Structure 1
Amino acid sequence: MNHSAPRLLLAAGAIMALGLTACTSGSSESAAAGATAAGDSGCADVVATAQKDVDAASKSDTLWNGPTTGPKAAAGKTLVYVAQSMTNPGVAGVAKGLQEAAAAIGWNVKVIDGLGTPAGIQSAFSQALTTKPDGIVIGGFDPKTTAAQVAEANAANIPLAAWQALSTPGPSTDPLLFTNITTKVEDVAKISADYVIAKSNGNAGVVIFTDSSIPFAEGKSQMIKKELETCSGIKVLEYDNVPLSDVSARMPQEVSSLLSKHNEAWTYSVAINDVYYENAAAALRAGGVKAGGGPFNVGAGDGDSSALQRIKADEYQAATVPSPLKSEGWQIVDELNRAFNNEPASGYVPQIHVSTKENTTATDAWDPVGYQDAYRTIWGK
């Protein structure tokens, strides 16, 4: 893959359709030379460290390093998964893992879709409370947006386990959560930025896609920006705020505008979620960008199956830092089983991985090897 090859000039039809402005560029040899120079002047150490970290995180067949001991399965529990939006592939992927784990331990799970809006999520959480479940799972939204419902669950002694609800993993006292299951956001942000630094040899023009309305997402994207700026040859061209709820409607025009404004200076993207690239492909194609060419798109989560399929096929995504979605669903069940048995949370934090074309799997998912057997052994199942 030639990361410094110039982008093709826009076709006349694409110009008319998208209102883009084409411009000429230098040779690929001069671009490559620029990348080498950037790596050799002021950024060589950063590039070397980034490459070492990316290589370590890209290893295949990563073994389970989570809990191996805990309480046996509590009997006959019912959980409700309040989903931020089941159109969010990460949220849906965790739901699938949760359902598989519940079947393995002998519990029931109901999924209520919040439809991606504050009002919808509040309504879904209220519906969950009316069913009087044994436990509730907060699926990918900020608990502060449902403060009244969280307080009601706390008052009823219903344990709350969350997935990517807060920026830090583990138990929380404000809001009161038994645990929050997530990779360390600072590690995800750093490795996604390091991928860009390493693969560009320290010479890239980067667009960051974020959702500033979500504190977790805004914090992640600010960390990405900070890490990119540790290399003097990396230029952040745009910090583009596109709310997740608007991605499908806004991304085509956003991409068209960015191509028109930056053209070949735009060589990499980093987004807080892979879903941004699902909605960018048509505009990139219409703008004269060949699949497998720059801008090389990197996801800082969640690594759902559609993202891994795009990466495998070189379809406008180069890499992602996936959450181990299914094993996180299993972890939610294990954590709530600990709550039901009056034991503390496990303290386990899912490991960091980088998925690329070279290490994608036939299942279009990434999870550490052996997690299901480990949890079944703990539960006595």
Structure 2
Amino acid sequence: MYPKDSHPRSHLRTPLTTAALLTAAATLLAGCGSGGPSTGAAPPKAGCPTALASAGAAVARAENSDTAWHGPTTGPAAVPGKSIVYVAQTMTNPGVAGVAKGVEEAAKAIGWQVRVIDGDGTPAGIQAALSQAITLRPSGIVIGGFDPQLTSQQMARAEAADIPVIGWHAVGSPGPSERPKLFTNVTTKVEDVARISADWIIARSAGDAGVVLFTDDSIPFAKNKAELIRKELATCSGVRLLSYENIPIPDAASRTAQAVSSLLSRFQDDWTYSAAINDLYFADAAPALRAAGRPGSGPPFNIGAGDGDPSAFQRINSKQFQAATVPEPLNQQGWQIVDEFNRAFAGRPASGYVAPVHIATADNSDGATSWDPSGYREGYRRIWAG
């Protein structure tokens, strides 16, 4: 992470590849017109000219890195002397761990105490971790990346104890939730993340791709994201979903390589693109792709629909079996969680802020290892100073 609000991408341009995508889309639309190309040549092959044009425009906007902070500018001054427990689904999930780091950084800035408890990726472990968190009687508890329905008894205990709970990727939508009881849920909009991930495949492939989709159906949020990706891919008839691979995140390290080897045997050169609900699948896929002689720069061209952890950026920047990610601003979301707790402690409503989607590639990341938009640290410090 970069200190304060200094960030080397503050003056980046939209990648040149974006212009190429838009040009390709426009050409395809022209080729599908009633008159056809003026040269008399056969029209370009495209299964979805309208979807392709729309995808190209959306990708152009999402790849723009020259963005400013548009989060909250008003709110309560820092409430002193508070403590937070961050209950993690598993700290092996880079997104969960990245948000935990942001919470710790923001808590230090506001003057609070933080403790992280790892649920180790199992229902029993998560239930035990949340039980431990409640026993500690903190001022607030974070649900870090797991379904609160797995811990309904513990959630009821937290509510009975008047301990506010904030989720990160805990339910399918951002904002407050009554059942499960969450003061708010911090996440990008899963619909936007799923749509732009699929749009990137549609646009980059010019509407002609064979796709493998990796997901974890044990997490409702992830299952919903995968279904939305599938739905958006289906808007282009030239994009074919070859396989839907359900591999639980805690099992990804042990199961992904074998799955990839099987997929390569089944589909061979027809497998040209992949999408995954989390970048970590591509870390585990890389050895199998490398062993099969596939080039690091693709195909298959791989995009992670979250979370944009440092290892994903390293793979993208070095062109090693991942081409793009739709990163959550993990550190910023950690700061947002602390700010939302401060609003809860002060008797104020949640801020309602939702971070916009972004696509990171080797062309626009400028060698960075996270998507860390500028301005939020200064903005939140200003609010908390009163």
Letter in 2 for 1:78: S
Letter in 1 for 2:79: A
Conserved in 2, the CA contact under 8 Å of 1:138 and 1:163? yes
Does residue 249 of the first structure (1) align with residue 254 of the second (2)?
yes
Q: Deviations over 1:189-230 (max 9, x none)?
A: 000000000000000000000111111111110000010010
Counterpart in the other structure of 1:98: 103
Conserved in 2, the CA contact under 8 Å of 1:321 and 1:354? yes
Counterpart in the other structure of 1:194: 199
Counterpart in the other structure of 2:148: 143
Distance in 1 between residues matched to 2:189 and 2:64, nearest whole Å: 19
Once the two structures are superposed, the pairs formed by residues 292-307 of structure 1 within 5 Å of their partners are: 292-307=297-312
Secondary structure in structure 1 of the residue aligned to 2:128: helix
Letter in 1 for 2:153: A
Counterpart in the other structure of 1:63: 68
Q: Residue 123 of structure 1: which of 108, 122, 128 is its match? A: 128
Secondary structure in structure 2 of the residue aligned to 1:279: helix
* TM-score when normalising by structure 1: 0.89
Conserved in 2, the CA contact under 8 Å of 1:67 and 1:374? yes
Q: Alpha carbon RMSD of aligned pairs, Å?
A: 1.4
Secondary structure in structure 1 of the residue aligned to 2:288: helix
Distance in 1 between residues matched to 2:368 and 2:346, nearest whole Å: 34
1:362 CA displacement: 4.0
Does residue 366 of the first structure (1) align with residue 357 of the second (2)?
no
Change (3 A) 1:247 1:69: same
Secondary structure in structure 2 of the residue aligned to 1:280: helix
Q: Residue 360 of structure 2: which of 349, 355, 359 is its match? A: 355
Task: Identify the range of structure 1 (42-51 vs 301-310) with the bigger mean alpha-carbon deviation.
Answer: 42-51
Secondary structure in structure 2 of the residue aligned to 1:202: coil
Q: Deviations over 1:140-192 (max 9, x none)?
A: 00000011111100001100011000010000000110000000000000000
How many residue pairs were aligned?
346
Distance in 2 between residues matched to 1:311 and 1:64, nearest whole Å: 25
Conserved in 2, the CA contact under 8 Å of 1:78 and 1:107? yes
Q: Residue 45 of structure 1: which of 42, 50, 57 is its match? A: 50
Counterpart in the other structure of 2:351: 346
Conserved in 2, the CA contact under 8 Å of 1:58 and 1:355? yes
Distance in 2 between residues matched to 1:198 and 1:307, nearest whole Å: 21
Change (3 A) 1:44 1:217: same
1:62 CA displacement: 1.6
Once the two structures are superposed, the pairs formed by residues 1-381 of structure 1 within 5 Å of their partners are: 40-380=45-385
Distance in 2 between residues matched to 1:369 and 1:195, nearest whole Å: 24
Conserved in 2, the CA contact under 8 Å of 1:39 and 1:201? no
Distance in 2 between residues matched to 1:117 and 1:361, nearest whole Å: 37
Letter in 1 for 2:82: K
1:367 CA displacement: 2.2
Task: Identify the range of structure 1 (54-63 vs 103-112) with the bigger mean alpha-carbon deviation.
Answer: 54-63
Secondary structure in structure 2 of the residue aligned to 1:346: coil
Distance in 2 between residues matched to 1:39 and 1:291, nearest whole Å: 29
Change (3 A) 1:361 1:118: farther
1:107 CA displacement: 0.4
Letter in 2 for 1:223: L
Change (3 A) 1:157 1:234: same
The ranges of structure 1 where at least 4 consecutive aligned residues each deviate by more than 3 angstroms after the TM superposition are: 37-42
Distance in 1 between residues matched to 2:310 and 2:66, nearest whole Å: 17
Distance in 2 between residues matched to 1:354 and 1:373, nearest whole Å: 24
Distance in 1 between residues matched to 2:43 and 2:117, nearest whole Å: 50
Where in structure 2 are there 5+ consecutive unaligned residues?
1-16, 18-41
Distance in 2 between residues matched to 1:78 and 1:201, nearest whole Å: 51
Conserved in 2, the CA contact under 8 Å of 1:61 and 1:369? no
Q: Deviations over 1:259-298 (max 9, x none)?
A: 0000000000000000100101110011110110200111
